Structure 1
Amino acid sequence: MALSERRPLEAGWTFKAADEDDSKWLPVTGIPTEVHLDLQANGKIAEPFSDLNELSVRWVAEKTWIYRTTFAFTPAAKAEHEHTDLIFEGLDTFATVTLNGKEILKSDNMFIEHRVDVRDFIKISEDAENVLEIVFEPARQKGLELVKQHPEQRWIVHQTEVSRAPVRKAQYHWGWDWGPILITCGPWKPIVLHSYTTQIEDLWVEYSLAEDLQKLTGKVCATVSGSRPEKVQFDLSLDGSSITKNSMQEDPSIPGKYTSSFEVHSPKLWWPRGYGDPTLHNLTITATNNQHTTNTSKPIGFRKAQLIQTPDSHGTSFYFRLNNTDIFAGGSCWIPADSFTTRLTPADYHDWIQLMAAGNQTMLRIWGGGIYESSSLYTTCDELGILVWQDFMFACANYPTYPEFLSSVSREATQQVRRLRHHPSIVLWAGNNEDYQLVERYNLTYNYTSDKDPQSWLKTNFPARYIYEHQLPNIIRAETGGSVIYHPSSPWGNGESTVQTVDPTVGDIHQWNIWHGAMHPYQKAPELGGRFVSEFGMEGYPAMSTLRAFSTNEGELYPGSLTMEHHNKAIGHSKRMVSYVAENFDVSGANDLAGYAHLTQVMQGDAVGGAYRSWRRDWRRSGDRKCGGVLVWQLNDCWPTVSWAVVDYFLVPKPAYYAMKRALAPVCVNVVRRFCDWTMRPASGETQPGVGQGAPGWKVWQRDTSHVDPRGLYREVVYDVWVASSRLERIEGAKVRVRFISVKSGKDVCEAVEKLVNIEANGTTDVVVQAKGPSAMPGQTDDTVPLDTTKLDPYVIHVTLVLPDSGEVVSEDVSWPEPIKYLQLPDPAIQVCSKKGSAMTVTVEVAKPVKGFVFDERPGLKFSDNGFDVVPGALKTIEVEGLKDGEQLEWKHVGN
């Protein structure tokens, strides 16, 4: 007999609206679930993601819903075990639970698990049915009631309405600037009938590593409830072989807590992807009672994680160090991958994280307006070596601190930290997303240096400081043994600056002066970095297959249609998208949805890829880490939409995903030419390689037809080339080749420049700085002389990197004259050839330079690269998986 048995109550459920009679009960497919999915399965509502259907299902959130099931509990089951509990892993959100007509639970926090002893309420019989019923009240209405009940609170909520702030529920359910308003309810996590005599509630490890990483000292901990076991022991193994095992002793001061110390010499450590193997051990705890046993296991990874914040010549550093190795954290921000998270499977999570790893990404930031994610996500991150920055679930609001709210938050945070603390991938917890920006915008009370009394914070108009700087960090310290870093917010500097959330010299920043805010040209990204850029982004359309999936009306498949507008929630998106596209590209050929979508994708790829290249350049070298990481907003979508995501709802990557992949390659070469901003030009005819407002010798001109000065096409070209490397060893004798290729003829306009380079380990190496390229219009230096554009011969700069160990090109980059729209692009004579083998290889060859070559993607197709530029003399070969027999690849490029 097992000491512990769990019986999921998955089937046999029905549901209905509370105001309907008993003839209206409808079947539930299974638990976990959400009411919208059950209504759709029963034909009561249409798919909320299609067309404008989101609007037609708003009524669902205004009703009270009831879920009900029955189950038997036999005398034999009672006799076998001393305890019987009902476990509700998650109820969304205002729920009242009755068993056989007796109330056993009230819940108002979807992030909390409840365990209820039901031995006194359950019917024990072979024939009797136990009736379990859950009533879910509307979260929006309950939230509005709480707002009225607490007039002492200054309610400030961005993105959505005020009702979400007092409700401990996924905040994005109220809608966001990338997601629909779909306020769900229901049993969104499993419900389990748990019978046991002795059970292991939890196990974890507290440990430390010696400075040289050669000795691991730790303590295995477990909590055991029910009848006191005769014996508790642990076994720590690796690859099936035990490393250390021992009996565990009960802590005399904490009944039910068992501990045992251990040491491991020369331990195998867990490393982030690209820096070493993400080694996982297996920890098993076994409890024995009357010759019966129960056990549980968890994968455990050992690593030393530090957040390095030290003064330097740029301000204060902000970067991660794992196992004494500096890590450039290039990656993405994550939102829930569905508005209805119960649709997601472990395979879905694996596919998402695998896509990250394949894209050379190292860190995932789980954003604070969603959910504490499924264990499947964190487990996959553990296995693939993806670092996790985990926000607590607070976002863009001035949250309250009345006693009931604080109590709920404490329970929520404690449970979630305990649930997740064994994952080596989680290296940082942040208190919230962007809540301190409200402090600055609304001039809320915040005296970081002069007021260190947490109780006084509760009396200010920013009482949530108590949560972020007292309550949560104390929970982290108590529950993780110091193995996880805590950061009060994202973004957050050090509390001392008056503009701490936007200070580029300290902490992390969200850089939204590209797209939002000042709407700077994305070419200015090198000037707009920070010590750690934890958010930035550019919108782009998804694949045509995705656009067709959410718009069932062919007549709506055009840019700016009602359906297209509805599926882009960003404020001012039409103006911003068109502005960025029109400033950079000739839109005359984008007269249909496919053409316009392609240009937005190329534009997004240029913006995102350029930012990653320039900010990774600021990784520099040990002791001079100007930028410690970059996380794009965002990796994914929660519904099929137009957004900042680099991969759409159906896991179809956009060109921006591949631009990131190239920019984050273990070793990559980069080239950029001086950006000639129309608003800043040399005074008195000077030529000057510097850029940026306030550079000496530059004066302001009024903005005119574009963000780019057309003189950039013919003035002296100044360019930089550098190599970024995450390899931990220096690379001697690499070869960098720089070509200058005419856009018109496709021929090299001068001899290539070749350099042998020694590439620094784990840093960036400048190859050429402010080098002068050939003139695109020889003899034209005087602004007052009329231009003879027939002599203009603009060129692209193409760089390649060859490593000595392979002799092959491992990285390439292309810099174009900007804006692209000023160029007369000739027919490039593209040839695409494919060859089938173990995988299909596709080769693209051109006679003239090609900008933004994009193969059409759809679910099921996988490309090793896409959205690239191609130049004459440099074949582009990629691998393609999933192409059906007889199916032809289709593509677009700028100018066609």
Structure 2
Amino acid sequence: MARHTVHVLSSGWEFKSEADEKWLPVSQVPSNIHTELMRHHLIPDPFKDRNELEVAWVAERTWSYRTTFTTPSDGGRARGVKVDLVFEGLDTFATVTLNDRVILKSDNMFVEHRVSIEHLLAENADNVLEIVFEPARRRGLELVKAHPEHDFIVHQTDVTRGPVRKAQYHWGWDWGPILLTCGPWKPVMLETYVSRIEDIRVDYDIHMSQGAATVLEATIHAHVLGPAAELEVELVFPGEHVQALTLRDRRDAPHSGSSWRYTSTKLRSENPQLWWPRGYGPQDLCEVRVRSIAGDGSTVLAEEKKAIGFRKAELIQEKDQFGQSFYFRINGVDVFSGGSCWIPAHSFLPEVSPQHYRDWIELLAEGNQTIIRVWGGGIYEADAFYTACDELGILVWQDFMFACASYPTYPDFLASVETEARQNMRRLRHHPSVTLWCGNNEDYQLVERYNLEYNFDSDKDPQSWLKSTFPARYIYEHLLPTIVQDESPSSALYHPSSPWGNGRSTTLQVDATVGDVHQWDLWNGEAKPWQRLPQMGGRFVSEFGMVAYPHVDTIEQFVTEPAERRAGSATMDFHNKAVAHERRLLAYVGENFRLVECQWACRGDPLAAFAHLTQVLQADAVGAGYRSWRRHWGREGARRCGGVLVWQLNDCWPVVSWAVVDYYRVRKPAFYAIQRAMAPLAVGVARKFHDWTARPADALWRRNTGHVDHRTALTDISFDVWVASSKLETATGKVVVRFVSIRTGEDVRERIVEEVEVRANGTTEVLVGCKFDWDKASVAEPEHFVIQAALWVGGVQVSSDTSWPDPIKYLDFPDRGITVKTPSQGLVEVSAAKPVKGFVFAERQGVKLSDNGFDLVPGDEPRLVRVEGSRDELSWTFVGRS
């Protein structure tokens, strides 16, 4: 009897456009049309210069892919063998023909299709498979016109993306290009089988009580197609402990033919090995093995395996002194979720390999991050992404694929969304890393901005929502939570939107007392100084960020004309999609740094100098956000902030953006600022902030700006010092606070030494509102100084932080006395005779540093940096270098 076999149709494909007669070979499938055209030198690389404009015509054409395959030798209805074509993903409007007969029409990029074809196969000839892709924008425009009952409100991009179930960022975003590609973006497979295991689900409960054993109770469900007599199931725990059972309890599934659902009896295990986020425990995984057994009791017809981790995940939303909490509790332990938002790693998705995904998640883990948010304008990522998160202990906040729009709810659209949601939940629900499913990204901001109908407290009738001016509420508050409960009743959490605070918190009106917030009064909105970030938080900050240039080596790869390699050139501006970036980036840099320094710093390279200042600005802002909001983690019962996610970790093409790591996986200094702020034990220091400039949005604004007294930065100084810990046990050490003259590098007063017992999994306040008294200083006149706080545990400095007077541009940095040594192969030692702001090594692809973008304080421990992948001397700069 035939077993289940799978043949991937990856080679032998060819493509052409509707305007061409000649078919050209395809490199391989998965594929998309832009990469194939590039490989044939028919279009330039759209990532370079302004070539994005030169390839816009590609999105306007209809494109076809085709291949041939032979009929499987064991195919045929007479023997009961099924033959299916499986399309894991077609992007997006696709008509599929087999031997000139239409077998499929697809209009959702996120949906897998399975088509039974044994009755269509050729007996004595090859089978011809062809897929025709129509332009997504043209079809989107047709759908908009076909549904005048909906107001298609779409932010960031063209209105046509609203009714199209395609990766929304393909229409462009404020960090990405407009590249409306198409093609078979996931594998195409030919399957033959008598019996097939269509789905496996493991429901479980973990019972935890103090002083008693932890108990795991699990039930295994399987959906089988074909004449299976029984199922054999093995649950393999770490250490190869195997628990086996046979599933005979079956019932008809809601499909015609021999389709069965099997359910196991409940399994019980005491003190099982659980899956933990990184830093909190091991990432133990089990394997579920299911075999379909024929009527003879021994023949294996089909077999499936899934890795699964058992963990108890809770989203804690309790009333407290700050409003209502919002944080994750995993296996009974409160977890501060410091991490990043993730966008697709490439505009052309088939170019992202499993190893690329692994490299990205390893980078995240190296940066002391514990969570990643898959943003709703991209894709449900590849299995390799989530597997890497499982193995490395990274929590996943998974958005459903809706972003920045008021989506329609006509019947065909809702049906497609339901299929999409169920399929992807079934694919991903066994991953222990996937902790939260979220309805959308920022769609509720349109309610406030356009005054759409939305009565959260009084209207609880889902059918009425469909008739309102905000019908998508039906998707986020009824359809999706129902699907989550159906498909993963025991292990998945659901949150209607990001941001969301019981119907109140949006990106326009941040409510810091409830839910998660997107804090865009930094950069966007009022464009407040980054120094105000400690007062701009919330219960969970799921987006915030600052734009910065990538390193010059990256810039040189996408700007090929030397004359265009300058700040503000047409090409550089083209590779910065952020709204009003010309004003905002210059404003932020100009407020904090001397722009004239860009004319001579970085060995006479003005572009490198400007890029460096933007990077230091981003690192200062992002680092301040993580340090101050992690400080608000507080203690059990008083978790004022439950997590911070920077917008964004990565880029989909080489660009100037909010990313802390660029398209080539080259890290910006902000990455290291997060790494230091999220260390298991991290000390923080912050001084009282004095505005030195006034803005139209400020309450103090008036024509006479004399109220801004720059002398207060010298005379009114107070500061706080604290230690944040993610360790599950207390730590004993000492905090040393120094006050170091920027002018001389000498201490301006005696240091403060505090013995501390650092609270486990929380924040310990060391000094609060500590006033600096010049009468106790060792200098005759007040002068600017750096405050450095260092944490020592067991005689080792485990963390340090510095606080500088603002703004940096008012300070002078003559002769810093920097020394850079290489005491051994792969190790660099950096020290200075006077305080140094923003010391940055120029990074490039293939070079890996353990630290970068740091400040230097004389008399401190030398900064040791491990270097991998470079045999050349590293170039470096700092703020004020001449």
TM, length-normalised to structure 2: 0.95
Q: Is structure 2 residue 798 aligned with structure 1 residue 810?
A: yes
- Flag the 1:668–1:463 CA change in 2: closer, same or farther, 3 A: same
Q: Which residue of 1 aligns with 2:602?
A: none
Match of 2:840 among 848, 854, 862: 854
Determine if the alignment matches structure 1 residue 178 to structure 2 residue 166.
no
Q: Is the 8 A contact 2:544 2:647 kept in 1?
A: yes
The answer for the alignment partner of 1:687 in structure 2 is: none
Which of 160, 163, 170 pairs up with 1:163? 160
Deviation per residue, 1:724-774 (Å, 9 max, x gap): 001111123x10000100001101111111010111111101100111224
TM-score, normalising length from structure 1?
0.94
Preserved contact between residue 749 and residue 778 of structure 2 (Cα < 8 Å): no
Query: Where does the alignment leave 5 or more consecutive residues of structure 2 unmatched?
Result: 254-258, 600-605
> What is the CA deviation profile of residues 103-145 of structure 1, one whole-angstrom value per residue up to 9, with x for unaligned ones?
00000000000000001111133xx110000000000000001
The separation in 2 between residues aligned to 1:519 and 1:75, in whole angstroms, is 66
For residue 80 of structure 1, report the CA deviation from its aligned partner: 7.5
The amino acid that maps onto 1:628 is: G
CA distance in 2, matches of 1:632, 1:609: 10
Identify which of 812, 822, 828 aligns with 1:834. Answer: 822
Residues 42 and 398 (structure 1), Cα distance of their counterparts in 2 relative to 1, 3 Å cut:
same
Aligned to 2:857: 871
Counterparts of 1:323 and 1:779, CA distance in 2: 52
Q: Is the 8 A contact 2:327 2:643 kept in 1?
A: yes
- 1:625 aligns with one of 617, 639, 642: 639
Whole-angstrom distance in 2 between the partners of 1:556 and 1:703: 41
Residue of structure 2 aligned with 1:880, choices 854, 866, 874 = 866
Q: Which residue of 1 aligns with 2:61?
A: 63
CA distance, structure 2, for counterparts of residue 437 and residue 387 of structure 1: 26
Deviations 1:613-658, CA, capped at 9 Å, x for gaps: 0000111000000000000000000000000000000001100000
Match of 1:73, SS state, is: coil
What is the correspondence of 1:86-125 to structure 2 with a 5 Å cutoff?
86-125=85-124
What CA distance in whole angstroms lies between the structure 1 residues aligned with 2:776 and 2:239?
69
Look up the SS of the partner of 1:256 in the other structure: strand
Task: Give the letter for the 1:878 counterpart.
Answer: L
Q: Measure how far apart 1:836 and its partner are.
A: 2.6
Give the aligned partner of residue 436 of structure 2: 428
1:765 aligns to what SS in structure 2? strand
Distance 2:343 2:704 in 1: 37
Deviations 1:238-281 (A, max 9, x none): 34513311111243253511121211111011000111111111
Matched residues in 2 for 1:270 and 1:545: separation? 40
Per-residue deviation, residues 561-592 of structure 1 (Å, max 9, x unmatched): 01100000001001100111110111111131
1:458 equivalent among 458, 463, 466: 466
- Residues 75 and 824 of structure 1: CA distance in aligned 2, closer, same or farther (over 3 Å): closer
Q: Which amino acid aligns with 1:752?
A: R
Distance 2:199 2:703 in 1: 65
Asked if the contact 2:204/2:490 (under 8 Å) is kept, the reply is no
Contact 1:712 1:817 (C-alpha < 8 Å) held by counterparts: no
Q: Distance in 2 between matches of 1:498 and 1:181?
A: 27
**Deviation at 1:693?**
8.7
Counterpart position of 1:677 = 691
* Partner residue, 1:275: 280
Match of 1:257 in 2: 261
- Evaluate the alpha carbon distance shift between residue 752 and residue 496 of structure 1 in structure 2; reply closer, same or farther with a 3 A threshold: closer
Letter in 1 for 2:49: D
Contact 1:206–1:481 (8 Å) recurs in 2: yes
Q: CA deviation at 1:201?
A: 1.3
495-504 or 633-642, which moves further after superposition? 495-504
| Contact 2:438–2:497 (Cα < 8 Å) also in 1 | yes
Letter in 2 for 1:89: E
* Structure 1 residues 1-60: Cα deviation after superposition (integer angstroms, max 9, x where no partner): 761000011111000001222xx2111000000000000011100111000000000000
Superposed CA offset, 1:491-529 (max 9, x none): 010126799962111100100000000000000001100
| Residue of structure 2 in register with 1:151 after alignment | 148
Pair 1:67–1:325, CA change in 2 (3 A): same
The answer to whether the 8 Å contact 2:328/2:335 transfers is yes
- SS in structure 2 at match of 1:888: coil
1:665 is aligned to 2:717: no
* Corresponding residue number in structure 1 for 2:41: 43
- Report what 1:292 is aligned to: 299
Say if 1:736 and 1:680 are closer, same or farther in 2 by CA, change over 3 A: farther
Query: Is the contact made by 2:85 and 2:114 (CA closer than 8 Å) also made in structure 1?
Result: yes
Residue 607 of structure 1, aligned match among 596, 621, 639? 621
Match for 2:799: what amino acid?
S
User: Between Structure 1 and Structure 2, how many residues are aligned?
Assistant: 861
Q: Where does residue 137 of structure 1 map in the other structure? A: 134
Cross-structure match for 1:716: 716
State the AA in 2 paired with 1:580: Y
Q: How has the CA–CA distance of structure 1 residues 578 and 703 changed in structure 2, closer, same or farther, with 3 Å as cutoff?
A: farther
Once residues 863 and 704 of structure 2 are traced to their aligned partners in structure 1, the CA distance between those partners, rounded to angstroms, is 41
Q: How far apart, in 2, do the equivalents of 1:162 and 1:468 lie? A: 20
Q: Using the alignment, how far apart are the partners of 1:225 and 1:500 within structure 2?
A: 50
**Partner Cα separation in structure 2 for residue 499 and residue 130 of structure 1:** 53
Root-mean-square deviation over aligned CA pairs: 2.1
1:26 aligned onto 2:5:
no
Is 1:199 matched with 2:184? no
1:684 aligns with none
2-structure distance, mates of 1:510, 1:336: 20
Contact in 1 for aligned 2:442/2:507 (Cα 8 Å)? no
Structural mapping, 1:570-581, within 5 Å: 570-581=578-589
With over 3 angstroms needed to count, the CA separation of the structure-2 counterparts of 1:427 and 1:776, relative to structure 1, is farther
Output the CA distance in 2 between the equivalents of 1:779 and 1:875.
23
Contact 1:440 1:499 in 2 (8 A): no
- Partner of 1:583: helix, strand, or coil? helix
Unaligned residue ranges in structure 1 (runs of 5+): 682-691, 781-789
Aligned-partner residue type, residue 755 of structure 1:
E
Pair 619,753 (structure 1): closer, same or farther in 2 beyond 3 Å? same
**1:201-259 per-position Cα deviation (integer Å, ceiling 9, x unaligned):** 12121000113361000101111112x21331111113451331111124325351112
Equivalent position SS for 2:598 = coil
CA apart distance, 1:711: 2.0
Partner of 2:730: 730
| Separation in structure 2 between the aligned mates of residue 498 and residue 180 of structure 1, nearest angstrom | 26
In 1, distance between residues paired with 2:353 and 2:182? 19
2:276 is aligned with what amino acid? W
Aligned partner of 1:441 among 434, 449, 464: 449
Q: 2:413 aligns with which of 380, 401, 405?
A: 405
Residues 666-815 of structure 1 aligned to structure 2 (within 5 Å):
666-678=680-692, 704=705, 709-732=709-732, 734-775=733-774, 791-804=781-794, 807-815=795-803
Aligned twin of 2:874: 889
Separation (CA, whole Å) in 2 of partners of 1:870 and 1:403: 61
Shift of 1:556: 0.6
Conserved 8 A contact 2:75-2:83: no
Matches within 5 A, 1:349-368: 349-368=357-376
Partner in structure 2 of residue 688 of structure 1:
none
**Aligned partners of 1:509, 1:518: CA distance in 2, in Å?**
16
- Give me the whole-angstrom Cα distance separating, in 1, the residues matched to 2:743 and 2:387: 52
